[in-house]
A and B are shown apart, each in its own frame.
Chain A
Amino acid sequence: MKGRITVLAVALLAVCMLLPAGLFAGETLDAVKKKGVVTVGVNGGLFGFGQPDETGEWKGLDVDTGRAIATAVFGDPTKVKFVPLTAVQRFTALQSGEIDVLCRNATRTLTRDTQLGLNFVTVNYYDGQAFMVAKKLGVKSAKELSGATVCVLPGTTTEQNAADFFRTNDMKWKPVVIEQTAELAKTFFAGRCDCLTSDASQLAGTRAVAPNPADYIILPEVISKEPLAPAVRHGDDQWRDIVDYAVLAMINAEELGITSANVDEMLKSGNPVIQRFLGVTEGNGAALGLDEKFAYNIVKQVGNYGEVFERNVGVNTPLGLERGLNALWTDGGLMYSPPFK
């Protein structure tokens, strides 16, 4: 026990001393170009966002975001190395330079943005915590859940959000805490808890594998804001801009109606906005220190935001998610890109 405390003390001291030193990244872009790949930290076990498929190929919204960044830098979506990280490891991996950018469904918060020495860029998925219940309970709103037993994953903000929600609404609850997502779902479907709480995107995925999905509903209340965004280290603004505009290029392409299918025709478009965006009129690429065709390459090889969304988490996937908050601002969502000029 004593040895453990000593080790931890030494380790903490070392972390405190070294943290500031870790923040002065050099020119990340140069380092990335020298390595020949962008190293992206991803989840590894979250279907629809970051997970290997049967053949070991990475799939997901965050994974495609990583590919878009690689395409922006190299014009090639395969020049990317995915590093699966746990929730504990993810920020250290970024601080220590093990990865160049973190695309691992990380919620942007004030302390993470400041004290952890990270900069979050444009949100690539707006999530929020919700509740799922069996239809036969007859519950229509989360406000009726007083006294409920709630299945919840430990350790994340999920548990805390649920506690906050029940306290502010002056309701009692009994948490049933289970470590693994798959086991959590099993427990819920076996009827051990009245309701299951998690991010809405995950609830949808869980419901899809229920013995009878139609028996369960996701309640309308969203009790937390979870803007999931890629993150980079403090101290390299050029790299931050590149990552930011790689994400924005996908959103802007959807706004402009450019898809991976029609992007080649769009090159001939007379619209000056599109010409500037696709690099027909030069300037954007040079400003970022990238190839003039970077946006064209992203749309051509990865797709616009809508395509990426539908491919990974959309209604035709097992997750079956509606666009909701993640629709374009013109469709009542929050996805909005500043002009590319």
Chain B
Amino acid sequence: MTPHPTATPAYPDIKPPVTSIGLIGWIRANLFNSWFNSILTLLVLAGLFKTVPPMVKWAFIDSLWTSTSAECHADGGACWSIITANIRFILFGFYPPDQQWRPLSAMILLVVMLLITRNRRWWHRALAWAWVAALTAMWLLMRGGFIGLQFVESTQWGGMPLTLILAIFGLTAAYPLGVVLALGRQSRMPAIKSLCVIYIELIRGVPLISLLFMSSVIFPLFLPEGITVNKIIRAQAAIILFTAAYIAEVVRGGLQAIPKGQFEAADSLGLNYFQTMRLVVLPQALKIVIPPTVSILISAFKDTSLVVIIALYDILKTTQSTLSNPKWMGFSTEAYIFLAAVYFLCCFFMSNWSRQLEKDLST
């Protein structure tokens, strides 16, 4: 049988040249495709070569993890011992050392709840109750004062639990308040509308620091003699009021994006104002504004570290306090790298979650 004249000719398949496929091809196409890019590539490589090895040497090879401060001062590498030696104070502040399993288990409970909530399959009414139960349990664990648990005053709470409390209660309280403010600003009733506008503009017109100062320095002077409000609650209120104003403006943007036809359709179905908002408008509006809301939540989370200026011992302040101990002075780089990692983890979790939520809700 002779081959068909139009069939594949008899010479073997020639592979494309090695210089245009695989790793080498990719490098040629992406890193050295012009003389300018080649120079840039070489410069970047040289820069990396100059910086990365010394950094790895400093951070890992020469580093000390469980030494005393004196050994750290003698050693040239990173002194992670400042974190390991002070980890209890950095994480839990003034919480009595023998009771620190309590904030630890409260935090673990929180993380578990967050991970469960991440999965939308679990979103039932039961989950809401579970959150209420979990938050109450955390509160009781932290506070104590029942069945043999030693009572720990909130002034002794510090470190990571304090940061998380300020962030979580701040964000969960600010969100509904912000939605209400946004609706109020859209209201046709002039009194409510102007109140909301004044509130939002007033709060947005001042920096968070000045609100915190007001709450910690000026507010106590307004109170009658002998009555003092807990410092944490004062700071918490300032954070809530501040964040709510920003969320209100974001939600307003979402409300304005809803076409008029949606309102008219709801009206023609005979829905009243609250039904319209709850069933038609808000579900769409809040979905649209997930990305900006999350960036506000992330910045609000990081803003909680401003409570340092009113001497609340959140995780930033406990770390700084460790740094002002002569034993550990001078290792601020290590301490701040640790803090950056902690904050990054939390913020990355939030933004990751929001991305997933956007995908699930297909906005």
Contact = CB atoms under 8 A, between A and B. Distances in A.
**Residue from B85, B95, B153, B231 having most chain A Cβ neighbours under 10 A:** B231
Q: Which of A44, A51, A52 counts the most chain B CB atoms within 10 A?
A: A52
Contacts of A51: 321, 324-325
Given A84-B313, A96-B221, A209 B330 contact: yes
Contact of B214 (A11, A21, A53, A56): A11
Instruction: Among A1, A7, A24, find the residue whose CB has the most chain B CB atoms closer than 10 A.
Output: A7
Interface in A268-315: none
B216 interface: yes
A52 B89 contact: yes
A334 interface: no
B191 to A, nearest CB: 19
Contacts of A45: 320-321, 324
A10 B85 CA distance: 47
Given A54-B89, A89-B311, A6 B218 contact: no
Nearest to A3: B205
A53 B88 CA distance: 11
B223 A96 contact: yes
A181 B324 contact: yes
B162 to A, nearest CB: 13
Q: Which of A22, A47, A205 has the most CB of B within 10 A?
A: A47
A83 interface: yes
Interface residues of A, number: 54
B214 A22 contact: no
A183 B225 contact: no
A4 interface: yes
A44 B332 contact: no
Contacts of A26: 225-226
Interface string A43-67: 0111100011111100000000000
A214 interface: no
B84 to A, nearest CB: 11
Of all A-B residue pairs in the complex, the 3 with the closest CB atoms, nearest first, are: A3-B205, A96-B220, A318-B326
Given A14-B221, A54-B89, A85-B311, 19 more contacts: A1-B205, A3-B205, A15-B218, A22-B221, A22-B225, A45-B321, A47-B324, A51-B321, A53-B89, A54-B85, A55-B88, A56-B93, A83-B231, A86-B309, A88-B213, A89-B217, A92-B218, A96-B220, A206-B329
Interface of B: 73, 85-86, 88-89, 92-97, 153, 155, 158, 201-206, 210, 213-214, 216-218, 220-223, 225-226, 228, 231, 309-311, 313, 320-327, 329-330, 332
Interface of A: 1-4, 6-8, 11, 14-15, 18-19, 21-22, 24-26, 31, 44-47, 51-56, 81, 83-86, 88-89, 92-93, 95-98, 180-183, 185-186, 205-206, 208-209, 211, 318-319
25 contacts: A11-B214, A14-B222, A15-B218, A18-B221, A21-B225, A46-B324, A47-B325, A47-B326, A54-B86, A54-B89, A56-B88, A56-B92, A56-B97, A84-B313, A85-B311, A89-B310, A92-B218, A92-B221, A180-B320, A182-B330, A185-B330, A186-B330, A209-B73, A209-B330, A318-B326
